[in-house]
Structure 1
Amino acid sequence: MWVEDWAPRAACKAAQPDQLFVRGAEQNKAKQLCAGCPVRTECLAEALDNQIEWGVWGGMTERERRALLRRRPAASWRTVLETAREGGRPQPAPAGV
């Protein structure tokens, strides 16, 4: 199930922003915050769909996200990631959508 209001559930919600917007080897520490996050997929989709250039989002660095965006520049990352999380099966739209 996709979480629309994902930020309050993020593992990093209590972290200082400086911990997530780092360079070099410090990015690996930031990515560890994401490892067990219950809304990691939603966070990553947000960063990819909005082409956020800085920081670690959804366990990926800006360089890693740029590589994905180059491969599929017109993708709806929410759709891609939601479908992948559900095992590749398209899900019916919720009632009223």
Structure 2
Amino acid sequence: MLNTTTATTAWEQHATCAGTPIELWYGPDERPESGHEAYWRRRHAKTLCTQCPVRTQCLADELIQPRADQHGIRGGMTPREREQLLATWRRDGLIPADKPASSETVRRLLIQKFPTASAS
């Protein structure tokens, strides 16, 4: 989901999520969300992500952030799913275990994982 508090990057202008309610990506602020509501909200958000021409860039930008700064659905993945992906890459020696992975490395790995996603 686009971050409306900072300047957008070039790829964000082409994101499928542009103009969608932020609650779709992060859940409601004003009340607790039931498990059923959360499931359907996340499912809808992920469906939009699968159609997004800049999914790889979105996911890569989130994966290089510190874990504490990762929230909501980004690039079609939840924070837990992103952490599992990073853990797999660390275990397989594809990214460093002791420091954050570079943006270039993450993008390359994502392009291998999602070959039909945009690489620009």
Give TM-score, length-normalised by structure 1. Answer: 0.71
Q: 1:36 aligns with which of 34, 51, 61?
A: 51
8 Å CA contact retained: 1:56, 1:62: yes
RMSD: 2.4
8 Å CA contact retained: 2:63, 2:106: no
Name the CA distance, whole Å, in 2 between partners of 1:47 and 1:55.
10
Aligned: 1:20 with 2:42: no
8 Å CA contact retained: 1:6, 1:39: yes
How many residues align structurally? 84
Q: 1:41 to 1:19 in 2, by over 3 A?
A: same
Deviations 1:3-43 (A, max 9, x none): x6211110001101111113730211110110110100000
Q: 2:62 aligns with which of 47, 71, 74?
A: 47
Bigger helix fraction: 2
Give TM-score, length-normalised by structure 2. Answer: 0.59
Q: 1:84 to 1:64 in 2, by over 3 A?
A: closer
